[in-house]
Chain A
Amino acid sequence: MLEGFAALLLFQLIGELITRLSGIPVPGPVLGMALLLFAVLLLKKVPAGVRTASEGLLAYLPLLFVPAGVGLINHGLLLKQDIWVISITLVVSTALTLIVTVLVLQGLKKLWGIKNDA
């Protein structure tokens, strides 16, 4: 478990270092995720410690958004200025994005002859 957590931090660190040094506009953790995926694909299995740490963190994923969300407290004024424009845009655009994505993915899977299992 502890080894697994250390491994996650190590991959994050490598990701951060690469993005810092190369200037790629991608956050370190996302690159770290890609590198860890690459590593476990090479290993052909996920070490037990990494799996335990990963499942533990992912179970509490919603909690991890709370501190950043409380930061909304600093943008009350900005939000208020365009509140209707922002609300309507967010709802309509998010609905459209969901609809287009599922329809395109579903359609392409049929076109590619990939079976749909529920």
Chain B
Amino acid sequence: MMPEVIFELWVYMAASPLLHLLLTLLAFFLAQWVNRRAGGSPLLHPVLVAIALLVGFLLITDTPYSVYFEGAQFIHFLMGPAIVSLAVPLFDHRERIRREFIPLILACLTGIFTAVISTVVMVRFLGGREDTMLSLVPKSVTTPIAMGISEQIGGFPALTAGIVLITGAIGCLLGPPVFKLLKIKDHAVQGFAMGLAAHGFGTAQCFSLSNLAGAFAGLAMGVTGLLSAFLIPLIMRFFA
């Protein structure tokens, strides 16, 4: 039995943005702690653990996502200025970017084509639905751009948003063993591939490796987003 006072408090708290804002921070701290205890395993990526904890909490308390987001939007809002602030590490590594400009652009184009064509081929081969395929195509592109592309080519933008996050986590998981296997030691190359395949997730992971890896990941994320917005609708015309 829940005493009336506690019930009234809960009704008040659940309606205030404060509760869900604080819960998001607490879930993230807890997730970081869990991740450290697990030896930094990308399987228990702090973002994934935090999301799982919060989804569990919302399901148990029967809270709609829209109510949760009223509190969490304050954190979500910071994504915009965070993307803008990627200009700073790019500036720090401007000489290197200038030197490697043409290889970087060409690698970005081949990366985008690989991501898109392998997705189309795999989903068709495995017998997935056409609208699933269209929602998956922009999976390596940073969330806000991916949602726009998904809408343009006929996918479900909301599903795409979730797929993009899962792809990011998969990229963080696969990146280190792939680089080890292929003997890639250059942090710039590693970062670029992570930013291209795993957008902001990959970028965030790269900043914990080195500033150079993070800068190239941010660069790849930005350029992949810009090019994909124009290229993916064009590529998809060939698969319509």
Chain A residues within 8 Å of B, Cβ to Cβ: 5, 8-9, 11-12, 15, 25-30, 32-34, 36-37, 40-41, 46, 50-51, 53-55, 57-75, 78-79, 81-82, 84-86, 88-106, 108-109, 111-112, 114, 116-118
Contacts and interface: CB of A to CB of B under 8 A. Distances in A.
Given A61-B207, A66-B28, A117-B186, A92 B122 contact: yes
Chain A at the B interface: SS class? helix
Contact of B226 (A30, A70, A85, A90): A30
Given A62-B47, A101-B111, A102-B182, A57 B81 contact: yes
A69 B165 contact: yes
Top 10 A-B pairs, shortest CB-CB distance: A85-B128, A54-B85, A67-B72, A108-B103, A105-B107, A29-B83, A36-B87, A101-B111, A37-B87, A67-B76
Nearest to A36: B87
Interface of B: 24-25, 27-28, 46-48, 50-51, 54-55, 58-59, 65, 68-69, 72-73, 75-76, 78-92, 94, 99-100, 102-104, 106-108, 110-111, 114-115, 118-119, 122-123, 126-129, 132, 136, 139-140, 142-145, 148-149, 152, 156, 158-159, 161-163, 165-168, 170-171, 174-175, 178-179, 182, 184-187, 189-190, 192-194, 196-198, 200-201, 203-204, 207, 214, 222, 225-226, 229-230
